[in-house]
Structure 1
């Protein structure tokens, strides 16, 4: 089975690196391969649909349409694997991923999509992602400039976020409060996520027919 990390290159407030989502998705795939037999990890997709962050320096986005096409063609090229799981580290990729998965499944391909969960009031560059990055790449986290952003639950922000981008709801690009983040908490979060991911993959694989080589 092939695990494909889906990330993004986008602002994560003043304190986290641009490739935070890609780093997290790649780590989850790496840990998945350590828990589920015969998992091969593909190179991460480092660009996604990040238009909502375009007002902040450093954000690079290929958009929903291009990402959907990329994922469809990736899925079509993976027929030699028993199945493919897209591990999505960026919420903005969701529409493209859902559309690509629908088409690939319609074509008879074995595709699973999975994404980590988190608090609705801590969805971007807040305590969750900051803790995880302190665990994975502490030298790239600048706690000295970490500060809260918009802390309302994401559903309450979504309409304005869609209309005006992240800058319309948060002057620093943060959706959450990174203060209090720790590497220990980051490890606990990663372990919770990978346990959920591994469980989802095992359940899915059990339902698949035996793959003919």
Structure 2
């Protein structure tokens, strides 16, 4: 991790991965740092597949506050909003790029997308080599359901309150999107869960993580090869 390195140790860095998460409600059973933990785990997995620090690949401390206004009705949520996150990302990358050739943002919260897209567009226009990649966990359910619960059972089982897990609104995103936009998550799910955590296991979480890392590693390797070519 970049935070535990000394300055001289980073002199040969060629790529820094920046996990981008959030601090927001994840139902009654998952911690507020769920997205941040997932983003960090994926970034670490990516770094390992790319050769780690021996190959000049570093993982930065995560951006733990994101754009989570849709969860603001729930206590514990801390959101800085889209514009503030955009500015944070722009300044972080500008600073990183003074000593590392490439930066990749590894995002695990859907609410951050607008900020990341705008920030990366601006930075690329300024001439920076930067990209963002998504840790998609919505294939099974949308928020704090089986997928994220399985991931946390693998990554941080002591933080999962399994006895409190309960289903929320299980309808597909297309059906609930208008209500989500107008009233946030609380408008469709009083407990903050979009999906059903029933059946979640640590083994499933390990498999999901491995799949995400492999997918992103393949895409990132292709991108790096294109740039090198």
* TM interval, short-chain normalised: over 0.9
TM-score with structure 1 setting the length: 0.95
- Superposed displacement of residue 155, structure 1: 2.6
Gaps of 5+ in 2: 1-14
Equivalence for 1:64: 82
Aligned residues: 210
- Superposed displacement of residue 4, structure 1: 0.1
- Superposed displacement of residue 119, structure 1: 3.7
* Contact 1:120/1:154, CA 8 A, preserved across alignment: no
* Contact 2:137/2:148, CA 8 A, preserved across alignment: no
Whole-Å separation in 2 of the counterparts to 1:6 and 1:169: 26
Equivalence for 1:160: 179
SS of residue matched to 1:84:
strand
Alignment partner of 1:55 is 2:73:
yes
Equivalence for 1:21: 35
* Contact 2:66/2:82, CA 8 A, preserved across alignment: yes
Gaps of 5+ in 1: none
Residue 115 and residue 13 in structure 1: after superposition, are their counterparts in 2 closer, same or farther (change >3 A)?
same
Equivalence for 2:25: 11
Answer with 111-120 or 9-18: which moved more.
Answer: 111-120
TM-score with structure 2 setting the length: 0.89
Equivalence for 1:73: 91
Equivalence for 1:194: 213
Which of 95, 104, 108 aligns to 1:89? It is 108
Alignment partner of 1:44 is 2:82:
no
Whole-Å separation in 1 of the counterparts to 2:203 and 2:170: 23
Within a 5 Å distance, the mapping from 1:98-137 to structure 2 comes to 98-119=117-138, 122-137=141-156
Q: Could you list the runs of 4 or more consecutive aligned residues of structure 1 that deviate by over 6 angstroms after TM superposition?
A: none
Whole-Å separation in 2 of the counterparts to 1:178 and 1:133: 11
